[in-house]
Amino acid sequence: MTITHHIPDDLLRAYASGNLPEPFAVVVAAHVSLCDECRAMAEAQDMVGGALLDRQAEVALSQGARARLMAALDHAPPPAPGPRASGIFPAPVMQVLDGHPPQWRMLGGGIRQQILSADRTGSLRLLYIPPGRAVPEHGHRGLELTLVLQGSFSDSEGRFGRGDVECAHDEIDHQPIAGQGEPCICLAATDAPLRFHAMIPRLLQPIFRI
């Protein structure tokens, strides 16, 4: 697997510092689990954060606070192991799926989706696009981060295969087309509804929540 499209540095820093909204953090975590280069960069960011913490002035704890902390550590149950990677789905995706396979919902033209989460921070979904099928042309009102888990797609920004991430913002209009061969399965996070150009996708947008 050759990955040529990576997480932008600013998003990787936000992820390492815990400041990335959850939908985007899941996409970054899934990419990092597949990409040696971005995993190394994320680990480097963690080391920088640790070094900065070491430079902070010490704050004394009261005796009561110290005792409560130690007691909590003594009685804390060991963390339960989370779901492991399964097939094309990295462990962070399987965690959101709660260890189960996707439950697809048809969107039309063979395209399917499963909404994994949706709240004020954004939405996270899996997309299934048959070979050669195009997603309706659209723009963005915010950020869209798309990770390819299987197959590939191409648009005005290039070709994206397994492990690649496309970072689309409000200046990008595109129409992703799935490559030939196996279906394209993607993990996508957005923080605002898409801007569809055609009338029918705009009419169906509230129903499909995209």
DSSP, collapsed to helix, strand or coil, labels residue 179 as coil
Distance CA 201, CA 193 (A): 12
Q: What is the pLDDT of residue 48?
A: 58
The pLDDT, as a whole number, for residue 210 is 77
Helix (H) and strand (E) counts for the chain?
6, 11
Query: Which H, E and C letters describe 122-153, residue by residue?
Result: EEEEEEEECCCCECCCEEECCCEEEEEEECEE
What pLDDT is attached to residue 114? 97
Residue 167 token pair: 């970072």
Q: What's the domain count of the chain? A: 1
Angle at 35 between CA 34 and CA 41, to 5 degrees: 135
Q: Which helix (H) or strand (E) segment is 63 a member of?
A: helix 63-75
The pLDDT, as a whole number, for residue 147 is: 98
Q: Is 165 helix (H, G, I), strand (E, B) or coil?
A: strand
Q: DSSP character for 98?
A: T
The parent domain of residue 106 ranges over 1-210
103's CB contacts (< 8 A; 6+ apart) are: 114
Token pair 């996707």: residue: 102
| CATH code, domain with 157 | 2.60.120.10
pLDDT at 77: 67
Tens of pLDDT along the chain (210 residues) come to 799 999 999 999 999 989 999 999 999 999 999 999 999 998 887 765 554 455 666 666 676 776 776 777 676 666 666 789 999 999 999 999 999 999 999 998 899 999 999 999 899 999 999 999 999 888 888 999 999 999 999 999 999 999 999 999 888 888 999 999 999 999 999 998 878 888 877 777 777 777
Give CA separation, 51 vs 32, 47, 62, 133, 195, in Å.
Answer: 22, 6, 25, 48, 43
C-alpha pair distances (Å), 121 with each of 47, 68, 93, 157, 200: 27, 34, 18, 26, 27
Q: Could you give the CA distance from residue 127 to residue 102 in angstroms, rounded to a whole number? A: 10
